[in-house]
A and B are shown apart, each in its own frame.
Chain A
Amino acid sequence: MTTTHPTARTYLVIYGWLIGLTILEVGVVLAGWPQGAIVTILIATALAKALLIALYFMHLKFDRPLVWLLPGIPVVLGIVFVLALFPDVVFHLVQRM
């Protein structure tokens, strides 16, 4: 077991970021920004929030790197799998040979 644990202050700071990012997300949607900007911002904020929770609340930042392999493999695999679905399911209306 590792000896470094985050302090309560660290947790509160991360929490503050999470709240802020959420407010940003709701804000750009309610303010009616253009769709392209919304999509980019939302993907970025979702990723950021997920990483913050994983690294700090789930302690991954303080664990040895080999532990990252455990969630890392399915995340990468999941992305590859979903991408493989694109030609048939997303582009199914595009003319094929």
Chain B
Amino acid sequence: MSEQRTSFIRKYIFSTSHKVIAIQYLITGLVFLAMGGVMALLIRWQLAYPWQPVPLIGKLLFPGSGGAVTPEAYPVLFTMHGGIMVFFALTPILLGAMGNYTIPLEVGARDMAFPRLNMLSYWFLFLGSVLLIASFFVPEGAAGFGWTVYAPLSSSTAVLPGWGQDLFILGLALDAVSILMGGLNYITTIMQLRAPGLTLRRLPLTLWGLFYSAVLNTLWLPIVVAALFMVLCDRRLGTAFFVAGPLAPHEGGQVLLYQHLFWGFGHPEVYILIFPVWGLVGDLLSVFSRKPAFGYKATVLSMLVITILSGIVWGHHMFTSGMNPLVGKAFMFLTITVSVPTAIFFLNWLGTLWRGAIRLTVPMLFTLGVVFVFAIGGLTGLFNALQTFDVYIHDTYFVVGHFHYTLAASVLFGAFAFIYFWFPKIFGRQMNARLGRLHFWLSFVFLNAVFSVMMFLGLHGHMRRIADATAYEFLKPVQHWNVFIGWAALGLGLSQLLFFINFLYSLFKGAPAPANPWEAGSLAWTVSSPPPEHNYETPPRVWCGPHEYGVPSLTNGDWLSQTDPQAAKLARS
């Protein structure tokens, strides 16, 4: 790089630096997280007090109905809430931001393998977001066919004619391209650009999680992109891939094909979201227990098994669709099998904690939070996996409770753990610990209040995606629980303000952070906070794994950095 100063635009807007791109992803993700959260509150208000005007912001959002959610707006709310949270909030934060920031630093590289492709990946997300926001402002409004975009509802302009539906699909497609570009970079950088001595056995678990996530994205995202384009063709070009019978202009295709294509991606997608969290949790439990990650190899291998299995279990989303029941049994068997490797690495987490010197920092609180909520979310997954049980609870709040425990709880807590842990490195400042602890405890309490009750509602038979439970006689006795959830959700939402205040304040006024505030052993913590522009002047030499904590033979300190030459003699690997 020449000595002349790069312009503001090249340095902060159209930058090829993985660190700048990561921050761009983080900001985008947090903005959409807030947006998706507000939508969730609107949904819960509607369910708690059906057709009552929404306080404060109702008249602004729903002028035509005096401030109340309308029957046309409700499907839009749950569609956009789901789509935004999955693709525009959690993915940018965990894959876009965490992936981009940590990978080059942790492998000892100066940047990603393909920096310009990396920059492009962010701008494709940005374009997708623009389309998504635009969809709110077209006549007939934004998409209302559920984040799953099921045909024939989605593919029929006779039923859903507005361009908002198409904009949602196109926005998703652009986001998919962004994710694929990012994934290409992650896989190549992790596999091909590691520093001398950094064998795969010495890779931080966070990077293993990101790697598996990127592999799943590369394999399965294209399937849903194909399906979405076919939906667009059905909508606008007069084809009939996913409609048959009277709705089709000619003999037509088949509806069930869409569900297979969608869930063929959709199931791996949930693993895509949680793999980075599993990896991060594995690392953070080690750092804050001052103990090596228990069963590192078994954890990496079981995550590999889950990666493979996750691609062949998608039918468990379709048990009640009319699919072939024998095939359903096969899917059921495979789905239950996934619980075995999951249990292995979960027990390894507990093994890391066992007799460790626990440091209850804010990232550790969120990490422990993940362990707790993932246990609940994962165990309820076993119920859903059974074809027989699923027949009763499919499309009820039991499923909603299950996936919010694994997504809104586990993945979200993982995202917070990422931010609280890496904030000092990224911004060179420290976040306020007291606010952080308050944020955690309030979130934890309210989150459990909201989603545990949902499971009981589901067992009672409360369907999902309905706007008014009081319209059903058998749900009237449980309507007060909807009110309870509503107020707990409000509590959850307000608690997040603590995070945003902490984040923004610490950005400008936080105490300066040292290079290694957490005494962590991996490569990223050997450079300054924030790191130099090109990370490493000369490639670091790695002598051991990232979890050399509690090394008995050390005389000063309780841990070894990966670049410490002593590690060659003292470390275990």
Question: Could you list which residues of chain A lie within 8 angstroms of chain B, going by C-beta atoms?
Answer: 73-74, 77, 80-81, 84-85, 87-89, 91-92, 96-97
Contact = CB atoms under 8 A, between A and B. Distances in A.
B260 interface: yes
B254 A92 contact: yes
Contacts of A87: 323-324, 326-327
Interface string B487-517: 0000000000000000000000000000000
Contact of A88 (B219, B311, B327): B327
Contacts of A74: 219
A81 B268 CA distance: 13
Interface in B321-359: 323-327
Interface residues of B, number: 15
B240 to A, nearest CB: 14
Contacts of A84: 260, 312, 315, 327
Contacts of B256: 88-89, 92
B188 to A, nearest CB: 11
B550 to A, nearest CB: 37
B219 A85 contact: no
B200 interface: no
Contacts of A91: 324
State the main secondary structure of chain B at its contact with A: helix
Contact of B254 (A77, A89, A96): A89
A74 B164 CA distance: 34
A96 B325 contact: yes
Contacts of B31: none
Interface in B258-291: 260, 264
A87 B325 CA distance: 10
Given A73-B219, A81-B264, A88-B327, 16 more contacts: A77-B311, A81-B223, A81-B311, A84-B260, A84-B312, A84-B327, A85-B257, A85-B260, A87-B324, A88-B254, A88-B260, A88-B323, A89-B260, A92-B256, A96-B325, A97-B325
**Among the interface residues B254, B257, B264, B324, which one has the most CB atoms of the partner chain A within 10 A?**
B324
B256 to A, nearest CB: 5
Contacts of A96: 324-325
Complex A-B, nearest 7 residue pairs according to Cβ-Cβ distance, in ascending order: A87-B324, A87-B327, A88-B256, A88-B323, A89-B257, A89-B254, A85-B260
24 contacts: A74-B219, A77-B311, A80-B312, A81-B264, A81-B311, A84-B260, A84-B312, A84-B327, A85-B260, A87-B324, A87-B326, A88-B254, A88-B257, A88-B260, A88-B323, A88-B324, A89-B256, A89-B257, A89-B260, A92-B254, A92-B256, A96-B324, A96-B325, A97-B326
A84 B323 CA distance: 11
Contacts of A97: 325-326
A74 B323 CA distance: 25
Interface string B232-261: 000000000000000000000010110010
